[in-house]
Amino acid sequence: MNSIKAQARELDQADPLAHKKSEFYLPEGVIYLDGNSLGALPHSARVRAKDVVDAQWGDGLITSWNQHGWIDLPHRVGSKLGKLLGAADGQLVCCDSISVNLFKLLSAALKMRPERHVIATTAENFPTDIYIAEGLIEQLGGKHELRLLEEQNLCEALTDDIAVLMITQVNFRTGLKQDMEAVTRLAHEKGILVIWDLAHSAGAFPVRLDASEADFAVGCTYKYLNGGPGAPAFVYVASRHQAEYIQPLSGWMGHAEPFAFSPHYRPAQGIRQNLSGTPGVIGMSILDAALEVFEDVPLTALREKSLALMRFFENCLEAHDIAGYLTPCYPEEQHRGSQLAFRHPDAYAICQAWIADGVIGDFRAPDILRIGFAPLYLSYADIEQAVSRLAAILNEQRYQDPVFQQKLHVT
Amino acid sequence: MNSIKAQARELDQADPLAHKKSEFYLPEGVIYLDGNSLGALPHSARVRAKDVVDAQWGDGLITSWNQHGWIDLPHRVGSKLGKLLGAADGQLVCCDSISVNLFKLLSAALKMRPERHVIATTAENFPTDIYIAEGLIEQLGGKHELRLLEEQNLCEALTDDIAVLMITQVNFRTGLKQDMEAVTRLAHEKGILVIWDLAHSAGAFPVRLDASEADFAVGCTYKYLNGGPGAPAFVYVASRHQAEYIQPLSGWMGHAEPFAFSPHYRPAQGIRQNLSGTPGVIGMSILDAALEVFEDVPLTALREKSLALMRFFENCLEAHDIAGYLTPCYPEEQHRGSQLAFRHPDAYAICQAWIADGVIGDFRAPDILRIGFAPLYLSYADIEQAVSRLAAILNEQRYQDPVFQQKLHVT
């Protein structure tokens, strides 16, 4: 036990990202292992929130659309996101939610493959992705098929009747990470367009959209990107597709000349066509500031620390002698996102007991304890302390207390 | 001149809503006549912005979805909006943008009138409404027609081949206000469903959605409702339509059981089906607090003050002897929203010169000076002062200075 604490100390001392923790506000006494649901609050975001409300809105009023560049905010944020996601400028823009953006991309992709009638995704995908495909198919009159592929046999299942493959890079339950480059290449060999959902990728490890020859992508910004609850999402359309791309949510912000108020829609050239209504300036400004914490972070170092934190978590389970209580359901290291998942029949109650003891993890139905590793604000000492408290809960069977049964909703 | 100033003083002294001005932050020396583009900052919104970021996000982290009721926020805000819009609970929810919500409503309405193929709107409608209809028609394969009706002959043009009439209650240029009850009744006589866009109505005067037997409505919350730049929009679906209603942006938040993560979409009963992705919690919380300023405001008093402010503005133009410079293009009093519009060949430059002199009005292409009257934070003295400064600009032809030519983008 003492030796594992000493190990944590040594690892923290050698951690090249250790200084980033001070850029976040974390509540006293809380160890936060749910940054993959909602990232912690960066100080830069807190400062900007005050500025955008008090100074930009309060003092600047309508003139801030120009004076504080609100009108270009979706592009400025898109450009910052591009640096984290390996996308050259002009291919990413910040807008709407993942769900709404998927609707745009799926609609556009089907138009680009008019002779094909299958949308493929994995059965294990995050439900909203599947639901949006269902909604679109219903709207288009039912002439398309939604095909659910098995994650394990993904590559074999890519056949040339599929118009578009919509796939989340990291499984939200198990943390299994797909090889973006390999899957995209195989899909392209069959003439399939690929939409990547980067919800659990963005800000968790390096993503190489352009290098992987990705067609389309969406993602949210409130997880590893720390943009705040319900922060706006993003959408990526590779340059080579933009001339042909047409999406149906043709709102005025995506018009070639939004302020000409012309009576017919003419899409903007390039990625801006994806803007629909007026952007949510306050939330997007806070996100813009939150992204500043990444400016001096080498993404390879981020990935290394993420993997090291997960390895250390496993070591702590051994050191505290509780590995036997939990059934790991996550992949080998090279196939991991930045989370671990364990099955336990009482996973829900364990999660609640852990929260009561100051460690916020997450539960995913039916029986998964999900642990997120946000490398920018977690220390190795945090991990050791979290496992130590988990050991007490498991050894004393504290989770059997009925108080830990009441259901929470978390995203 | 002195007598008009004295009149302003008397009107302010007798104003039953005069005390509301102190609930807003307004920058020193600025008279704000653009609350119909972006409402001013309520102190309640400023306080909540700090609370939702620092305490709810920062301290509460993921647990705030329950502890601070983020999960029900779209409904709580919807319910507050319902009180301002004459809608019983369960018919309004806060989400997305007007553009995205119109897409939902138009899609659903067309499904409810499968034998009809015309979407009708006014040629004078706000462009995003028209664009969204165009995008939907394109997506559905072009078998529908978008028919642009003339505002003046609206009622005669309602024929029984129209599936849905989409109409903005107050014209964004002229301020012409449609009679919701009469138009809805005439449309229903022809079997037409009606979607009302309340962008320039909500918070400007009493709206009676239920009493008018409205079918559907959308609106934004950053104008007279003071929700902040890009604050989320709302959508109304009358109870009697909810069982039949199905919209295509079927994201997880509109699922009957969002946290069951089931692999097929099953729409929630009632208005909640309109939620798609994760709500923008920060912006929506700020809006929630901003709506508190309406709690003690009788909407009839709001309307009376709005009309009185506009009458007083006209009186001030006469008193300052500048009425002849400007061509009114707004309707008679009973058909007005809460704005006035004047044509002038140099409207743009006049607007810029006025801004330079501390009075923020608005310009709408090609030649309209648009003046918004937000009754909660404008005094009669403000109006007199604004017109006095306008008189100087017009009399001295100050607007001819080239510095006032550079184009701004404003919403």
- Which residues of B fall within a CB distance of 8 Å from A98? 277-278
For chain B, say whether A69 makes contact (Cβ under 8 Å).
no
Query: Do B246 and B131 fall within a single domain?
Result: yes
Question: 10 Å Cβ neighbour count for B37?
Answer: 24
CB contact under 8 A, A230 and B40: no
Query: Do A252 and A337 fall within a single domain?
Result: no
> What pLDDT is recorded for position B411?
43
Q: Is A103 a catalytic residue?
A: no
CATH value at residue A120: 3.40.640.10
> What pLDDT is recorded for position A406?
73
Residue A344 falls within a domain, yes or no? yes
Distance between CA A264 and CA A281 in Å, rounded?
26
Query: Do B306 and B383 fall within a single domain?
Result: yes
Residue B58 falls within a domain, yes or no? no
> Domain count of chain A?
2
B259: confidence class by pLDDT, cuts 50, 70, 90: confident
Which of A46, A97, A249 is facing B103, going by the closest CB pair?
Answer: A249
Distance between CA B398 and CA A21 in Å, rounded?
55
Q: Is A223 a catalytic residue?
A: yes
Query: Do B280 and B304 fall within a single domain?
Result: no
Partners of B121 in beta bridges? B148, B166
Residue B64 falls within a domain, yes or no? no
Query: Do B83 and B210 fall within a single domain?
Result: yes
Q: Which residues of B are annotated as a binding site for pyridoxal 5'-phosphate?
A: 98-99, 126-129, 168, 197, 200, 222, 252, 278
- End-to-end alpha carbon distance in chain A: 34
Of B51, B81, B125, B347, the residue nearest B224 (C-alpha): B81
- B377-411 pLDDT, tens digit per residue, is 999 999 999 999 999 999 999 999 999 977 655 44
Report the gap between the CA of B394 and the closest CA in chain A (Å): 22
Query: A257: helix, coil or strand?
Result: coil
Query: Do A17 and A102 fall within a single domain?
Result: no
Residue A50 falls within a domain, yes or no? no
- Among the candidates B270, B294, B318, a domain finishes at B294
CATH value at residue B333: 3.90.1150.10
CA distances from A153 to A121, A197, B107 (A): 12, 19, 36
Query: Do B93 and B156 fall within a single domain?
Result: yes
Residue B145 falls within a domain, yes or no? yes
Q: Is the pLDDT of residue B165 over 50?
A: yes
B135 → chain A, closest CA residue: A248
Q: Is B143 a catalytic residue?
A: no
Query: Do A76 and A209 fall within a single domain?
Result: yes
**Looking up tokens 């959408």, which residue turns up?**
A235
Partners of A216 in beta bridges? A195, A237
Which of A61, A251, A261 is facing B32, going by the closest CB pair?
Answer: A61
Stretches where chain A sits below pLDDT 50 are 410-411
CB contact under 8 A, B62 and A130: no
Query: Do A287 and A324 fall within a single domain?
Result: no
CB contact under 8 A, B134 and A264: yes
For chain B, say whether A358 makes contact (Cβ under 8 Å).
no
Are B18 and B12 spatial neighbours (Cβ–Cβ below 8 Å)?
Answer: yes
**Beta-sheet pairing, A118-122 with A145-149:** parallel
> What pLDDT is recorded for position B322?
97
Residue of B41, B53, B107, B352 for testing the chain A interface, max A β-carbons within 10 Å: B53
- Among the candidates A265, A294, A323, a domain finishes at A294
Distance between CA A268 and CA A278 in Å, rounded?
15
Query: Do A136 and A280 fall within a single domain?
Result: yes
**Cβ neighbourhood burial of A18 (10 Å; 0-12, 13-18, 19+):** middle
Q: Which residues of A are annotated as a binding site?
A: 98-99, 126-129, 168, 197, 200, 222, 252, 278
Q: Is B126 a catalytic residue?
A: yes
Q: Which domain does A106 fall in, by range? A: 69-294
CB contact under 8 A, B355 and A63: yes
> What pLDDT is recorded for position A411?
43
- Among the candidates A294, A317, A346, a domain finishes at A294
> What pLDDT is recorded for position A365?
86
Partners of B371 in beta bridges? B340
CB pairs under 8 A between A and B: 296
Q: Is A370 a catalytic residue?
A: yes
- Residue A78's H or E segment, with its range, is helix A73-85
Q: Is the pLDDT of residue B360 over 70?
A: yes
Give me the mean pLDDT over the B14-22 stretch: 98
Residue B29 falls within a domain, yes or no? yes
Question: 10 Å Cβ neighbour count for A151?
Answer: 16
Return residues 16-55 of A near B (CB < 8 Å): 25, 27, 30, 32, 34, 37-38, 40-41, 45-46, 49-50, 53-54
Residue B253 falls within a domain, yes or no? yes
Query: Do A234 and A222 fall within a single domain?
Result: yes
Residue of A278, A281, A355, A368 for testing the chain B interface, max B β-carbons within 10 Å: A278
Which of B126, B262, B355 is facing A127, going by the closest CB pair?
Answer: B262
For chain B, say whether A106 makes contact (Cβ under 8 Å).
no
Query: A205: helix, coil or strand?
Result: coil
Residue A31 falls within a domain, yes or no? yes
Distance between CA B52 and CA A295 in Å, rounded?
26
For chain A, say whether B99 makes contact (Cβ under 8 Å).
yes
Return residues 197-226 of B near A (CB < 8 Å): 220, 222
B331: confidence class by pLDDT, cuts 50, 70, 90: very high
Distance between CA A354 and CA A399 in Å, rounded?
8
Query: Do A312 and A330 fall within a single domain?
Result: yes
Give me the mean pLDDT over the B281-295 stretch: 98
- Residue A300's H or E segment, with its range, is helix A299-319
